[in-house]
Structure 1
């Protein structure tokens, strides 16, 4: 009996110690070193659902376990635009439609790239439209109107962004003020390529890198854009992570939104599938790396997109819905106020479950990374 009295406390102590150690390790593993934010502009649940019917392979959306929903209304409107939606992600504040990196009172707000760059964290932005367009601009720029793309272009040359890729060349070298901002890039230690994405070996020694590969937006997938989005993102990850640095990267599938505005289902679906391929590439990196948080979401839904049953006619002329065939349809040429899914993978991803406001994504990223401290 005396032996039991001696041994049992040690067993209990040992179990307690093991539990404590496991808890500490779990806490360490839940702090991501890197964050990749993927934004599919204009994408709601029906757009995502289309991948499950039109993609030849299993969609990469199926690889997520932690899923939430965001409310997307801007500060003054029930239905947001991309500028206010992206500013919520990049700056953590609700603002008015059209605003880039400014609060509802029009004052500048520090964005996540400015915040983390001061901590020696590398940063990048990628888009399939102009790099000066609303979503990417909100991660480095500050202007009262998203339409001020020449002003936004100048701000990019002066920004703390380390890597960027997209279109919009004309806002840098064909400007109303006559400035050639490609020279300004050089003065600010950017190596900018206007021809094609390069191999990592050719940019490895560069301090900052940019790619401006079309006059305005990049070509559509149907026009032969190919794997630009996935390749640019993979190149960006290589560059930002080259010295094993921590990094933040935002990559946008921009033209899902344009397909929705045009009520063009094939445009929309081809862009959505391209974005899903991007998700696969990023998750492959994150799974291998083990220290990267991946967050996938959208600023809003566009088009009131629906995967409806095909409308057909009988021999007598009466109409019916054929539930065995899908007919993608639209209810609007603009945006809608539907809740938007959030998918998260990696350390800290549990934080992104639930239903919350869109600007909470900014605060959740800072919370799980400790970048806000």
Structure 2
């Protein structure tokens, strides 16, 4: 009786399998792979938002201190990234961003180069050559470690003037941030702002425009980094992101936009909870701009992550009062904790799980078929 029942169940299972839309490859009686006829939609555009120094406690702070529902809670896919660099257990921002831009784990301080200081093509350079539009927005100078890692190749992150020399021929269609002095107040006495129009750029240094101009745009609104939120920066980051999206989305081929909430990291280094939280809330507002665009557009993948965590930030109880949160820091440097990866839109499923930080580059390239 057991044999007859087992055979009947086997025959029934085989019949259901062969009559379904699933085809199974079998080699030596072992199932090796399964293929379905389901079409998986992938994105045409990618928005990568980097909260520099933003670990899980920082995200939690944005949720606790937000007046209303935080945009972090709008994501359906969440992963974890292991942030060690190629040279140290704890990464810096240069190596931490170079893994996103090139897929290469490199030494701390490296900008767009591998461990042997050999330049590695960035995602911005690769996509620009393929006809995509590209943009970089930051609340630091555009020569700072994270934005620089997407368009420059130098041995060390402090080589700001050398980084600036990559801007005219970077292929980036939209720059917005600080860093004016590295163009026109240089040790070599050159004024690189004079080179930008010949490369197709309109240079804007007074205020963020409300509409795009024709051609490429270089918007530099501070000598170095942008002001803090507490110093009156206002809605620069969400507004610049919106302006970038209006420009880049005109390209039928697609676009890549990197947006950095740079000063989350600076608040962590200063062990200044008010500074950090204000920058987090500004970043959360910017995430909302990206998600709203993606929801309307339908062809855009939004990714939010961090290069590392800064400050060893913790939301601790205030003594024995478990109804009151007291932000606490354990270091003025970086920590080695994993950081969250949020994804929403076509291709978001790729970002589930726990993986090395450089996998984010490969997942982005896979998402757009590169």
- Pick aligned residue for 2:80 from 59, 62, 69: 69
Deviation, 1:267, is: 0.2
Q: In the alignment, which residue of structure 2 is the partner of 1:208?
A: 216
Distance (whole Å) between structure 2 residues aligned to residue 114 and residue 51 of structure 1: 33
Matches of 2:340 and 2:102, distance apart in 1: 20
- 1:64-96 CA-partner distances (Å, limit 9, x unpaired): 111000100001100000000000000000000
Match of 1:290? 298
Question: 1:246 maps to which residue?
Answer: 254
Between the aligned partners of 2:290 and 2:169, the Cα distance in structure 1 is: 28
Cross-structure match for 1:342: 341
Distance 1:282-1:177 versus aligned 2 partners, 3 A rule: same
Q: Which deviations, in whole Å up to 9, do the C-alpha atoms of 1:72-128 show, x marking residues without a partner?
A: 000110000000000000000000000000001110101001111111000010100
Write the deviation string for residues 315-357 of structure 1: whole angstroms up to 9, x where unpaired: xxxxxx2111111010000000000000000000000000000
Alignment of 1:109-188 (within 5 A): 109-188=120-199
Structure 2's unaligned 5+ residue stretches are: 1-15, 24-35
Confirm or deny: 8 A CA contact 2:22 2:37 kept in the other structure: no
The residue correspondences of 1:83-98 to structure 2 (distance < 5 A) are 83-98=94-109
Match of 1:26 in 2: 39
Answering whether residue 281 of structure 2 is matched by residue 273 of structure 1, we say yes
1:16, distance to aligned residue in structure 2 (A): 5.9
The structure richer in helix per residue is 1
1:247-272 deviation line (CA, Å, top 9, x unaligned): 00000000000000000000000000
Counting matched residue pairs gives: 341
Shift of 1:17: 7.5
What TM-score, normalized to structure 1? 0.89
> TM-score under structure 2 normalisation?
0.90
Alignment of 1:199-238 (within 5 A): 199-200=210-211, 202-203=212-213, 206-238=214-246
Q: Secondary structure at the match of 2:43?
A: coil
Counterparts in 2 of 1:239 and 1:325: CA distance versus 1, 3 Å: same
CA drift of 1:199 comes to: 2.3
Give me the CA root mean square deviation.
1.5
Unaligned segments of structure 1, at least 5 residues = 1-11, 312-320
By how many angstroms is 1:24 displaced? 5.5
Q: Do structure 1's residue 194 and structure 2's residue 205 form an aligned pair?
A: yes
CA deviations 1:115-168 (Å, max 9, x no partner) are 111110000101001000000000000000000000001111221111110001
Give the distance between the partners of 2:21 and 2:313, measured in 1 at CA.
54
The alpha-carbon deviation at position 245 of structure 1 amounts to 3.9
C-alpha distance in 2 between matches for 1:245 and 1:80 = 34
Write the distance in 2 (CA, Å) between the matches of 1:167 and 1:105. 30
Aligned to 1:285, what secondary structure does the other structure show? helix
Contact kept? 2:141, 2:179, Cα under 8 Å: yes
